[in-house]
Amino acid sequence: MIGHMPSAYILGIESSCDETAASVVRSGEEMISNVVASQIALHQPYGGVVPELASREHLRAIVPVVKQALAEAGKTFETIDAIAVTQGPGLTGALLVGISYAKALAFALDKPIIAVNHLEGHIHAVLLEERQKGNHELRFPVLALVVSGGHTHLYLARQSADTWAYENIGHTRDDAAGEAFDKVAKLLGLGYPGGPVIDRLSKYGNARAVKFPPSQIKNPDRRTPSKELAFVAKSATDGGTTQVENGRPRFDFSYSGIKTAVLRYVETHDMPGPIDSRRRALATIAKPKLEDYVANCDKQTLDLIASFQRALVGDLVAKTLAAAREYDVATLFVTGGVAANAELRETFEGDAAEQGLAVFFPSRPLSTDNAAMIAAAAYPKFVARQFAPMDFSAEAGMVLR
């Protein structure tokens, strides 16, 4: 950040979903500690996050996780300047654990508290790491694709003085991209979460084997057409038509169709039997390794996995780059859990370069949920003294503006 800004050590706390996380970040530019306690093992038997279990586990983990983050940073409660916590979006019960603890700390220590939107956090994960590498130059506007288990959003991000503002120009109309990865993996007997397994297995299959026509991943508009809605013809490279809302072109996503297409393929290719065997075989292994997954997948399954990932990644990249052209952006951020995907990174890097667009990702540890991104996003608010009142609460469906 710019030289005249005050230096501040912010303790970030994140508990919106299935990771309890705490981190100390200096002035939005130096991550000093980053502790993440994942609940994956707890939720694995259920094939997804169980909200009640998540809240209880956050309660158990929050105090040791925060203490560890302070200890690793060589800090104490007294020597931090502010406490930042995720307000939403996320699971209400899970969010409340982080918020209640953060409020108690702020009250007892007489330190300011900063409420952060989780999605803004994902965007600031990229900014934090770029500053840490010494890159303080950013060309605006920035287009950010936030793509995770719960979200698939496109934001135009702008900074004026200390304030960041965001405009949503696209979102998923049904499933998030990570949700599609998780549901397809579950459907194929590969367990939870699906993204990392599909990512690694897709290298073993032929991505051209199964065709998922664009009609299966188009974005049907189920809302009633209003006066503000119109479709304008675009060049063929922009996918035919673009929806316009309030005079601003939109680039929406839809990933429930491709999940259904995978289900149809499974049903029409006699795959349920082998899937059941695979599910049972993998359940007997405490921590299955890549070799275990490969050994339990036939060629047909590997080809289906590779083809699914290719189709989904192709759609995410094509829509995002079309939005970048439409809004004439110079910089692209790709962040959130799915940004850890190797094929997504390679495709974005190749295609964005062709378009003369600089693309930035967080490192893999900062792609998925963490508290460093919350502490980093809080810094401009600290400088602007945008502190939260003590009576703020969790906002499960919080929007980013």
Nearer to Zn ion, 297 or 338 (CB): 338
Q: CB under 5 to 8 A by kind: which of Zn ion, ligand KG4, none does 199 bind?
A: ligand KG4
> 70-77: long-range contacts at Cβ-Cβ below 8 A with a sequence spacing of 24 or more?
70/11, 70/22, 70/24, 70/33, 71/33, 72/24, 72/32, 72/33, 72/35, 73/9, 73/24, 73/32, 73/33, 74/32, 75/9, 75/11, 75/24, 75/32, 75/33, 77/105, 77/109
30, β-bridge pairs: 26
Nearer to Zn ion, 20 or 216 (CB): 20
List the interface residues with Zn ion, window 228-247 (CB under 5 A): none
Nearest approach in angstroms of CB 336 to ligand KG4 is 5
d(CA 202, CA 336): 20
Contact 233, 136 (CB under 8 A): no
Nearer to ligand KG4, 325 or 345 (CB): 345
List the interface residues with Zn ion, window 117-176 (CB under 5 A): 148
Nearest approach in angstroms of CB 150 to ligand KG4 is 4
Q: CB under 5 to 8 A by kind: which of Zn ion, ligand KG4, none does 28 bind?
A: none
**82-88 and 9-14: which strand pairing?**
parallel
- Residue 370 is a binding residue for Zn ion (CB under 5 A): no
Q: CB under 5 to 8 A by kind: which of Zn ion, ligand KG4, none does 362 bind?
A: none
Q: CB under 5 to 8 A by kind: which of ligand KG4, Zn ion, none does 88 bind?
A: none
- Chain residues that interact with ligand KG4, rule: CB under 6 A: 17, 148-150, 178, 181-182, 193-196, 199, 336-338, 340-341, 368-369
Distances in Å between the alpha carbon of 307 and those of 199, 203, 253, 344?
12, 10, 18, 13
Q: CB under 5 to 8 A by kind: which of ligand KG4, Zn ion, none does 257 bind?
A: none
| Helix locations, 7-74, DSSP H | 40-43, 51-73
The number of residues that bind Zn ion (CB under 5 A) is 2
- Residue 369 is a binding residue for Zn ion (CB under 5 A): yes
Interacting residues toward Zn ion by CB under 5 A: 148, 369
